[in-house]
Structure 1
Amino acid sequence: MQNKLKAYIKTTELFLKGSSFYRGVLLTIAIVLPLFVFNILDLFAYAPAIALGIFLNAPSDVPGSLRRKINGIFISIALTILITFIILITKPVFVLLVIAITVLSFGISLISAYGFRASLISFSGLLAIVLALAIDKPDIKSIAIHVGLLGLGGLWYLSFSLFANWIFPKKDDDQILSDTLQLTGQFLKVRAKLLVKPNKREKFSKKALILQTQISEKHETLRELLLEGRKRSGRSHSNERRLLIFISLVDIFELALANSLDYSKIDSLFGLRKKHLNSFKKMNKEMGKHLIALSELLIKKGKLPDIELFNDIYQETDKAILDYVDEISLPKAREGAISLRNLQDYQKQLLQEVKAIRRVLRKVKNNSKAFLKTKESVPFLTSQDYSFNILLQHFSLKSPMLRHALRLTIAIVFGFLLGSLLDIKNAYWIILTIIVIMRPNYGLTKERSKNRIIGTIIGAVIATAIVLITQNTIVYMVLAVISLTFAFSLIQQSYKAGAAFITLNIVFVYALIDPNAFTVIQYRVIDTVLGAGIAVLANYLLFPSWEYKNLDSVILNVITTNSDYLEATKHLYHNKEENSLEYKVSRKKAFLAMSNLNAAFQRLTQDPKSKQKESALIYDMVTLNHTILSAIASIGSYVLNHNTTPASEEFDTIIKDITSSLKHAASKLELNETVHFSEEKEIHQAHEKLQKRYNNLSLKRDSDIEAGQTEIDNKTLLNLQEAHLISNQLLWLKSLSVNLNNVTIKYKSVFN
């Protein structure tokens, strides 16, 4: 009970000191301040329009480069002014209004094609339609004043946001770094469970895939925040510190992916002797917990957690290797012992990165990790294409974006007509619910609908209880402000809680205007249920975009980027200094592509069971591509972090064959060309030569042991590890690429 209380207090403290709550407070101040000032100046009639302008243009103020943030808010201001003007000018003529809503909804929805920030600008535009429907302006003069005040509100919010960013310039950076540290820590803990729990591997593997997707998304945001900011304002000590943490997190992520072990081989090597793996599991788990503890220090003050524990665990891993060798005896124990040495080596590298993050948090100067040159950062930034061709590419019913735009437009128009036909009070709430709930895929729309309804009912029940207890307008005003802050703070973290606070805010605001607050509560619940129902039905019935139909291009991108990543890894093995940048850029693209495939598969699992066509086959495609990525990362990570021998001709021959195999799989997927594979003699000989090198090193080591040299020197150990890893990973990659071709043929035969 005491531990739960401590955990709750810590969670609450992290939330109150985090950027989400900070953003909620800022938005509340930005809205309340003009209301207060204009009331003092006896100009309160103008204040609501300014508040609406703030509310409309706040969504596009999300973490990212300052330039994109400013441009996004300016575009949002212009768009919301134009939409509000069109809706208000056509409002007197019902037919014109319906046409305006239809055309605007469709056009605004398509803006989302330009990326995440554009989707938030699109949301502001759709929100402008709803809020314009809630307002009556009888003449052109009052319309002009209203839209002018909306623009003024948007400009005020932009100014206030820039001022807040100047006061606390790195709030978003620290929050996203903290979130990434926490997710990476959770990822390492899941990886620890994968090592020793074969019966639960599928469950933990799926959890790991979800975490990988979330981590990759955070990495993209951090690249924009840290690298774009660095290009714009140059180096600063605080920026470099955050960049160093980010670089270590990327390295940890790659190391973890690179050591996605061949668990079937681990099981065959260790069988019932899993006790030898327990210390390695413990090491991963404790490093995960340590990263989570460090994530909290970026948000709240505190002491660095003790690191001495890792020295003890590392000694336990040493003992585990010796115990395994004693129990099995050499040479039979060699392969298992080398696998454990490779695992220990990986964990040692992980620990170095954890220590590097600790040094940054301690603000130790002259950190050993080299700073990234500004010109080298450019290839890591993902540029968004804003050309008109992007929209033209989506003008096809095969495009999920166009289908979503059509679906959303029909749902909005239907909701508006239904509300008008039934003469429902505040019917625009139906449209508002549709807009905030509806997403391109069915599963997320259904989940948000459920959370929206539950949150609204919870908010309505709490509001009813408060209204029954008191009729004090001062209480309503205070609660309206508090609920507004928490609504903005929680809407991204917990949609259900956010919806509850939004309902509370709306009820208390209306209670200040109309004493009969129960009517507001009643219609709020009814309109929310109607809107949610329309959104879910529209997603299911109108131009449904089931995920299995959209996977070809995502899988193709993964295979292509994996092929490029493997080629870059080959170049890295030949010359680290010249090719490390090419390798890291290829790595980033491959990780992002895999993240997109993971996300697509998660969306597939949220579709109705009847629409999860061949989900087991698709899961095989996902896991095969992920395993190929991990195997490539395993070679690349080893080469990058060790002094290696020169790459052999056999290595190049096998890499060329695997790359060709991946390209054949891509060709089959894209062009549906069947390719028949035969084992080439040259490839077989190359594998034999690589294996022979490892065998020769093993025989030499056996001779040394027989001669009484029981202690292995570092050079021999590293040569054995390298020969073992390269030979095994290439053999594994070859097998995986052949399996991928077979599964791709089966996949195309099913979905052709």
Structure 2
Amino acid sequence: MFYKILKFADSTYFTNAVKVTIAAVIPVVVFSYIGKFEMGFAMALGAFFTYPSDIPSSLKHKINGIFVTALLVSGINLLVNIVYPLSWIFYPFLALLIFLISMISVYGQRATMVSFSCLISVSLAFASINTGWIMVLHSGLILAGSLFYLLISLIFHYVRPHRYIELQIADCIKLTAKYLKLRGDLWTVNADKKSIIEKQLHLQVELNTIHQNIREVLISSHTTSGSSNQNRKMLLVFISLVEILEVALSTAFDHDKLHQKFDDHPNVLSSYQRLAYNLAASLKQLSKSVKKHTKYTSKNTLLRDLNSLQLAIADYENDLKKNTASEGVFMLTTMLQYAEKQVEKIKIVERAFTLNSNSYDLKGLDKDLEKFLTPQYYPLITLTENLSFSSTIFRHSLRLTITLMVGFIIGKILPFHNVYWILLTIIVIMRPGYGLTKARSFHRIIGTVFGGLIAFGILFVVKDIRVISILSIICMLLGFSFTQINYKVSATFITMYVVFIYGIVTPNIGDLVQYRILDTVVGAVLAFLATHFLWPSWEFLNVPVYLEKAIKANQDYLKEISIFYNKKGSISTSYRLARKNAFIEVGNLMASFQRMVQEPKSKQKQLPQVYKLAVLNHSLLSSLASLGTYIQSHKTTSASEAFNVVVDTVLKNLDNAISLLKDNNLNLQANLPKEDLAMRFSELKSIREKELKEGFPIDEEAFQLKMQEAQLVIEQLIWLINLSQSIVKTTKIIKEKGAESR
């Protein structure tokens, strides 16, 4: 229990909550001491407004993001106060302001958080409408509070400059370990492959998110602030983790076939599975060490496990006649080489955390790193291109604007206590997707009711202002800590904090709790109804876009692999970018499926086919990673014409799937007849033997390597053909059923 508390206290979420709590509490305490509580509270609002925009990034982007947010939230507060008395212009002004602020989200994650901060500023502007010099002073104090938060955030950054990235790396290591464990589970006899693959796909979504967070911090710092030793160390670890994931994904064997082939030799598969589990266990142990900030001491037996696998393969080969065992030996040797590569990469990660090196050699891996980041520029055309109903953000902005205006008018017409609570609830709950809005509506209401009742009960018993003040600070800290972890718990603590604050400054606390709950329910209901009826963004409408991107990303990855196999040399930046994009887009496709599952049954159109396509694209990525990893780590022969013909066929299949998604059946490309493909595969099988009969004599080891290459390449090409054909077939079913439903 104590360890869990320490772990939570060291988390990024808790640290961020501590920052905003300090930035909010200090001004309130200082100004209360001199009898100016309202001024301290205005500065605290500035900290609250600015806090959401403090997302992971380089120091330069952090400062710029928070500073721009500080100017915007204070400026918006001033504008609302200026225009509010002008009733004939106020309502159109408010609607336009909300819409424009919402549309900022088209510029990415940071812009989305800035937009959220500005919307919160709009809603809370109605908590204190001022005139004359007072409104200027109030906005100035909000700006001062925002800048004070920036100062606190910078102090935390310089006190523990690398802790955030260490925690992210630790989480990345842990998730990668989970992925390796799942790959090991596939080797269990009669394993539930469907369940395991589904877990892998969910894990891929999490890995994509954490990879992006790490890139934003590490690569931005590496390219803008120079390369420190710590930065190089973490970059080396991160690149190694990405490669470990690729190799894990590349162990794409037909497990049913392997179990049939090696049923009489269970020691072979059990040795490999044991090694796979120990690979995962080693990473999990390392993750714990990084999180605890303790010295890492390796306890793994990976080299011994590798040796056991080698002995198992040798026993298998000796038990069977050489010509009978050759195919199995090639398969097992390939598995052994993948395992050796995993061990090599894990050893690199371990050494990074155990050796006191003053310099980490990236060996050219940091070349063109800036290309792996989303560009940080904000052209006006991005905004104008999204001003149409085809844009999810446009529909959400319009939906949010109408809902907030309706909520504001209801709050003004009916005798509600605080109209800004209705607006605040709508802003916090409402999301572009139905599933998340529904969940947050429910959690917000439950959290508000429980928080209000608990706080009211405490205030009924506790009368000491100092005790209530301490409780309010604790509730604020916990409320912000749980925002991203458990929204229901967060809403409970935030409500308790608000009630405690009002319990200090106002006597009629009973009425306050009732109004707070009522306002929250009204805001939640409005948000839910609007998401359901106002230009809803049902996920089945977005699935074709994610499908197209996933297929195109896999296609680009295959093209890069083909270029590398034909030309050899070193891995290019374009190859690494194609690999990264394939991982991201397949993960995005699965995330889209997850959102669809949260929607009403009537809107889960063709859910089985969407899931099947997500699995097929994941399998395609796995096969590509297998082929790519092999040719990277082996000295391969020249690519034959047959190889290129088969690759072209796979690329044409993927082109056909994309054409179907675009309703462009005229562009479907004719594939090679099955007989021609069969001939090409026969050609691939015999080409190595032909090469051996011609030219100079070749030793036994070289012969084995060439035959191993031929077998692996052929197996992956056959699988790629089958997968690409299945993708076309399933895509066609989706389009046909979609046409019928219309």
Report the secondary structure of 2:572's partner residue.
Answer: helix
- In structure 2, the partner of 1:690 is 684
Tell me the alpha carbon deviations over residues 114-171 of structure 1, each in whole angstroms, 9 at most, x when there is no partner. 101110001011101111011131x222111111221222222223322322222222
Maintained 8 Å contact 2:396/2:432:
yes
Q: Which amino acid aligns with 2:82?
A: I
For residues 7 and 691 of structure 2, the distance between their equivalents in structure 1, rounded to whole angstroms, comes to 53
3-state SS of the aligned residue for 1:58?
helix
Q: State the partner residue of 2:581.
A: 589
Closer/same/farther in 2, CA of residues 366 and 197 from structure 1, 3 Å limit: farther
Task: Report the Cα distance in structure 2 between the residues aligned to 1:539 and 1:495, rounded to whole angstroms.
Answer: 19
Q: Work out whether 1:28 is the aligned partner of 2:24.
A: no
Q: Report how far residue 217 of structure 1 moved.
A: 1.9
Q: Pairwise mapping of residues 620-699 of structure 1 onto structure 2 (< 5 A)? A: 620-674=612-666, 675=668, 676-679=670-673, 683-693=677-687
Q: Is the 8 A contact 2:58 2:221 kept in 1?
A: yes
For the residue of structure 2 that corresponds to 1:59, the secondary structure is helix
Quick one: distance in 2 between partners of 1:371 and 1:40? 58
1:503-556 per-residue CA deviation (whole Å, 9 max, x = no partner) reads 221121111112443333333333223322222222111111111111222221
Stretch deviating more after TM superposition (641-650 or 721-730) = 641-650
User: Please, which runs of 5 or more residues in structure 1 have no aligned partner?
Assistant: 1-7, 705-711
* Aligned match for 2:286, one of 255, 276, 294: 294
- 1:514 paired with 2:506, answer yes
| Counterpart check, 1:742 vs 2:736 | no
Partner residue, 2:75: 82
1:529 aligned partner, one-letter code: V
CA distance in 2, matches of 1:629, 1:587: 9
* 3-state SS, counterpart of residue 545 of structure 1: coil
Letter in 1 for 2:682: E
**Who is 2:214 aligned against?**
222
- 1:201 counterpart = 2:193: yes
Q: Which segment is superposed worse, 443-452 or 358-367?
A: 358-367
Aligned equivalents of 2:289, 2:535: Cα separation in 1? 47
Matches of 1:265 and 1:52, distance apart in 2: 63
1:61-109 CA distance string (max 9 Å, x none): 1101223222222321232123212322333355644333322222111
Q: Distance in 1 between matches of 2:449 and 2:38?
A: 32
The answer to whether the 8 A contact 2:180-2:276 is kept is: yes
Question: Is 1:67 the equivalent of 2:60?
Answer: yes
Q: 1:476 aligns with which of 455, 468, 473?
A: 468
Aligned to 1:342: 334
**1:503 corresponds to:** 495
Match of 1:428 in 2: 420
Alignment-mate amino acid for residue 649 of structure 2: D
Shift of residue 34, structure 1, vs aligned partner: 1.9
Look up the match of 1:708: none
Partner of 2:6: 13
TM-fit CA distance, 1:270: 4.7
Amino acid of the structure 2 residue aligned with 1:584: R
The answer to which of 25-34 and 293-302 deviates more is 293-302
Shift of 1:32: 1.4
Letter in structure 2 aligned against 1:586: A
Question: Deviation at 1:623?
Answer: 1.6
Q: For the residues of structure 2 that align with 1:651 and 1:403, how far apart are their CA atoms?
A: 47
Letter in 2 for 1:499: A
Correspondence for 1:122 among 90, 93, 115: 115
Q: Which moved more, 1:514-523 or 1:432-441?
A: 514-523
Question: Which moves more between the two structures, 195-204 or 420-429?
Answer: 195-204
**Worse-matched range after superposition: 518-527 or 383-392:** 518-527
How far, CA to CA, are the matches of 2:509 and 2:198 in structure 1? 47
- Does structure 1 conserve the Cα–Cα contact (< 8 Å) formed by 2:77 and 2:122? yes
Deviations 1:207-255 (A, max 9, x none): 2111111112221221221111011221211111111110111101111
Distance 1:578 1:290 in 2: 30
Q: What secondary structure does 1:299 align onto?
A: helix
Alpha-carbon distance in structure 2 between the residues aligned to 1:538 and 1:188: 43
Looking at structure 2, the residues matched to 540 and 616 of structure 1 have their Cα atoms a distance apart, in angstroms, of: 23
Alignment of 1:423-462 (within 5 A): 423-462=415-454
Deviation at residue 741 of structure 1 after TM alignment: 1.9
Identity of aligned residues (%): 35
Q: Deviation of residue 636 (structure 1)?
A: 0.8
SS of the residue aligned with 1:195? coil
* 299-308 or 344-353, which deviates more: 299-308
Q: Please give the residue correspondences for 1:554-593 in structure 2 after superposition, counting only pairs within 5 Å.
A: 554-593=546-585
Instruction: Please state how far the C-alpha of 1:60 moved relative to its aligned partner.
Output: 0.6
Structure 2 residue corresponding to 1:242, chosen from 225, 230, 234:
234
What secondary structure does 2:186 align onto? helix
Alignment of 1:230-269 (within 5 A): 230-269=222-261
* Change in CA separation of 1:67 and 1:44 when aligned onto 2, cut-off 3 Å: same
**Alignment of 1:39 onto 2:26:** no
Which residues of structure 2 form unaligned runs of 5+?
A: none
Question: Contact 2:229–2:358 (CA<8 Å) still a contact in 1?
Answer: no
- Letter of the 1:127 partner, please give it: I
Contact 1:293 1:305 in 2 (8 A): no
Specify the alignment match of 2:51 in structure 1: 58
- 1:729 equivalent in structure 2: 716
Q: Which residue among 107, 110, 113 is the counterpart of 2:103?
A: 110
Distance 1:275 1:99 in 2: 75
- Paired residues for 1:132-211 under 5 Å: 132-137=125-130, 139-196=131-188, 198=190, 200-211=192-203
Asked whether the 8 Å contact 1:81–1:150 carries over to 2, the reply is yes
* Distance apart, 1:44 and its partner CA: 3.8
Cα distance change, pair 301–579 in 1 and its aligned pair in 2 (3 A):
closer
The alpha-carbon distance between structure 1 residues 28 and 589, as it changes in their structure 2 partners (threshold 3 A), is same
Q: 1:515 to 1:681 in 2, by over 3 A?
A: same
Preserved CA contact (<8 Å) 1:14 1:296: no
CA contact (8 A) 1:176 1:218 kept: yes
Residues 129 and 366 of structure 1: CA distance in aligned 2, closer, same or farther (over 3 Å): closer
Contact 1:419 1:427 in 2 (8 A): yes
Count of residues in correspondence between the two structures: 734
**Whole-angstrom CA distance in 1 between matches of 2:161 and 2:465:** 37
TM-score by length of 1: 0.91
One-letter identity of the residue aligned with 2:406 = F
- Take 2:543 and 2:595, find their aligned partners in 1: how far apart are those partners? 11
Deviations 1:307-357 (A, max 9, x none): 343344334434544565577765444434433332232222222211111
The residue type paired with residue 302 of structure 2 is F
Structure 1 residue 713 displacement after superposition: 6.4
Q: Is residue 196–residue 274 contact of structure 1 (8 Å, CA) maintained in 2?
A: no
Partner of 1:284: 276
Amino acid at match of 1:679: P
Cα gap change, 1:198 to 1:146, in 2 (>3 Å): farther
Deviation at 1:486, TM superposition (A): 1.8
